[in-house]
Chains A and B, each alone.
Chain A
Amino acid sequence: MNVPLGRPRLLDRLSNQRLILIGCSVFLGLLFLAALAAPWLAPHDPYLVNLAVKLQDPSWTYPLGTDHLGRCTLSRLLYGARVSLGFAVLIFASSLLIGLLIGTLAGYIGGWVDQLLMRFCDGVMAFPSLILVLGLVGIFGPGLKQVIIALMLVQWVYYARMFRGLVMTLKEKNFIAAARVNGSSHWKIFRMHLLPNILPPLLVIGTLEMGWAIMDISAMSFLGLGVQSPGAEWGAMIHEGKSYIRTNPELMIYPGVMIMLVIASFNLLGESLSERFGMNK
């Protein structure tokens, strides 16, 4: 008996979806690299104030011009990417981890544990997340660290909800029963059977949520609650540029465009991934 064990070719055809997937991945990958390499790529110190060259137009020395304190806009954008992307990853990873843990517990154990955890989630979800973050930052006081903690505390709820649903459908599957029948422990079932099977949706939600995390950090910084002056961060840059909106709108446009591009990329990436995995988000 011959077993046909052909694997589908990874790149059997280059469809539109695939182009988006590759394009967004490349863009985001380059951006991450640029953020990492900011100290070497940036033409100037992003914090160096030089009032002699303030509000300059783009030139060879200052590729994107300078801001109201004569700081190099390009350098600030690059350093800002570090904050935006880096902390978005941090928020994403930590809220994902908390959400994964609590959601899986609730879904797998069920009963009153599930009820308790989910009612708490309902409570958190009853408020718009930005309002809740604002409230928490109001309690903790402004600052990047506080904003990040507040975002983590709010965001995990959405992950928990999602993972609970996934785990609940998965745990009724035959292979989970088969694993139990074969004497697998709960931890092993989680590790071997649940986790690997929720990875694809996790990837999709992850990419979509990254966009939101960047948006949230920028929004908080724009409101003056996150990154404080003179820190370089996209939202904070828009905040600082808004006084010059009539004379030098590019101070707001550059970081604004960056935020838009990054969030759009993450969203498109998430969409095309979900298409790839045959999921309807």
Chain B
Amino acid sequence: MKPVLSVEHLTIETIADGQPLVQNISFQLAAGQITGLVGESGCGKTVTSLALLRLLDEKVIRQSGRILLDATDLMTLSDRTLRRVRGGQIAFIMQNPMSAFTPVFTIGHQLMETIRTHDQCSKREAKERAIEALLEVNLEQPDRILKAYPFELSGGMLQRVMIALAVCLRPHVLIADEPTTALDVYNQKLVLYYLEKVRATYDTAILLISHDLSVIAEMADHVLVMREGEIVEQADVFDLFDRPQHPYTRRLLEQHGLQAGGMNA
């Protein structure tokens, strides 16, 4: 399978004392595949995801390596060109939906602004696309949601709005950083369901970051296990859960009460 995004020898370190945050990691995201990224808190998952879009503060953090989106290396792009990639070709779903929207504007305003940042279109057209996107994640009464302010919606709804927003620009790559952490079980299921739907419908390459192994087991096709800034193991999801190679992976599985071979696939 042809990779959409391939990361080669990505290293991230602080400028002040050269402390490595992520060391020489390489992986690929393929179209229509969900790649899971697991690891304990602080192992570098979020830093990696931000580095893919070069969103880390370059005054504080230095990153090297190559991030190839199709054939372009994102490391070489100017800030202006990068902005077109962010949200356009690579979309991002954040961890905490309740705080990811500006409190002072309506959902509709923010959706339409983002659409119009990337595609030249009229307000009316942007509105239609926003409504369409909201319907796609089964949010009823989209015109009422467009008029609502973020605080008027629940976390689960906002997370679905965020998925709608991320998907309506038809990105090639979707990065979901702990998209279910802040949600209750019912909404977690919904969000995962829509991610799966996005993958199936648009053939999007999805990087799903989570510390929840059950989420990864359910969703991912391919899994990267990260520990202290390094990828210690990457494997097909069945192989990983059935025959974990690295001792760290084994320990991780045990901690979650998922002994090797304990997963009925």
| A interface residues with partner B (beta carbon < 8 Å) | 1-5, 110-111, 173-175, 177-185, 188, 192-193, 196-197, 199
Contact = CB atoms under 8 A, between A and B. Distances in A.
B254 interface: no
Given A183-B88, A184-B114, 16 more contacts: A1-B139, A3-B140, A3-B144, A3-B152, A5-B147, A174-B99, A174-B100, A177-B55, A178-B92, A180-B55, A181-B91, A181-B92, A182-B92, A183-B117, A183-B118, A196-B102
A175 B100 contact: yes
Contact of B87 (A2, A4, A177, A182): A182
B53 A181 contact: yes
B84 interface: yes
B83 A184 contact: yes
B59 A184 contact: no
Contacts of A177: 55, 94, 100
Contacts, number: 82
Contacts of B264: none
A183 B83 contact: yes
B86 interface: yes
A180 B86 contact: yes
9 contacts: A3-B141, A174-B94, A178-B92, A178-B100, A178-B101, A180-B86, A181-B53, A181-B87, A181-B94
Interface of B: 53, 55, 59, 82-88, 91-92, 94, 96, 99-105, 113-114, 117-118, 139-141, 144-145, 147-148, 152-153, 157, 162, 165
Contacts of A183: 82-88, 114, 117-118
Contact of B86 (A175, A182, A193, A196): A182
Which of A111, A183, A192, A199 has most B Cβ within 10 Å? A183
A196 B83 contact: no
B152 to A, nearest CB: 6
A5 B144 contact: yes
Which of A5, A175, A177 has most B Cβ within 10 Å? A175
A175 B59 contact: no
A175 B92 CA distance: 12
Contacts of A185: 83
